[in-house]
Amino acid sequence: MKVSRIAAVGAVSGIAVLALSAPAFAHVSVQAEGTAAKGGYAVVGFKVPNERDNASTTKLEVNFPTDHPLASVMPQPVPGWKAVVTKTKPAKPLESHGKQITEVVSKVTWTADGKGIEPGYFQKFPVSLGALPEDADELAFKAIQTYDNKEVVRWIEVPQEGQEEPDHPAPVLELAAAEDDAHGSSGAKAEDDTEAAAQNTAASSDSGDGSDTTARVLGIVGIVVGAAGVAYGVLAGRRRDSGASA
């Protein structure tokens, strides 16, 4: 009996812990589709779960970092949602592919055309962005979630290392180490491999030419030797015929 009561109390306590901790996981988050490398471009998805059982999410506003402005931001169309991109002038002009960028994206706002994200569901909002900063390990995006009952939830608290996760954490994108491009060490290695292959091909060609020449010389020698042998045989035959006649 005591064991059963202890088990029941433990089960109830576990359910209570799960119930209390569940909201901490149900927040707006961002994750790269693949690798978000420093200095490169990436496609990321903002995941928005519905935390309410009596209202639907009908609007999402994602604010982009001002300390590391992004020159290129393009949202992917999401059925049932309209995306509006807001641009602003950066504090300092940016350069991308040799061109000066005078406008950057400050935020993207998605508004539902229909029911939005209903209770029990979530929605992903993909965005292509870059070039990612080379002097940062992560990017924080402050998001604002609006429900059809006019409730607004602000996911704007940037998590701090060594501290507990805040009640309304902002989505944070982790950046990976920079990758080598065609002009980096990988490109140099490819050029070295190509040059080595070309040298091997040339060496093989030279070797082939030498072999052909040797074969031709040996062939000619063989023909001469063969002709000499035939001539010797004919001459020897004539001598034998002459001796017999005598």
Tens place of pLDDT per residue across the chain (246 aa)? 454 554 444 444 443 333 333 444 578 999 999 889 999 999 999 999 999 999 999 999 999 998 888 888 999 999 999 999 999 987 776 666 666 777 889 999 999 999 999 999 999 999 999 889 998 999 999 999 999 999 999 999 998 888 888 889 999 999 999 876 533 333 333 344 444 444 554 444 454 455 555 555 455 545 544 554 544 444 444 444 444 444
Alpha helices in the chain (DSSP H): 2-25, 185-245
Radius of gyration of the chain (CA): 39
CA dist., res. 177 & res. 184, Å (int): 14
CA dist., res. 194 & res. 207, Å (int): 20
Sign of the alpha-carbon dihedral angle for 108, 111, 112, 117: positive
pTM more than 0.85? no
Query: What pLDDT score does 142 carry?
Result: 96
Query: What pLDDT score does 178 carry?
Result: 86
Query: What pLDDT score does 22 carry?
Result: 40
Query: What pLDDT score does 198 carry?
Result: 46
Burial label, 54 (beta-carbon count in 10 A; 0-12, 13-18, 19+)? exposed
Query: What pLDDT score does 25 carry?
Result: 54
Query: What pLDDT score does 73 carry?
Result: 93
Query: What pLDDT score does 13 carry?
Result: 43
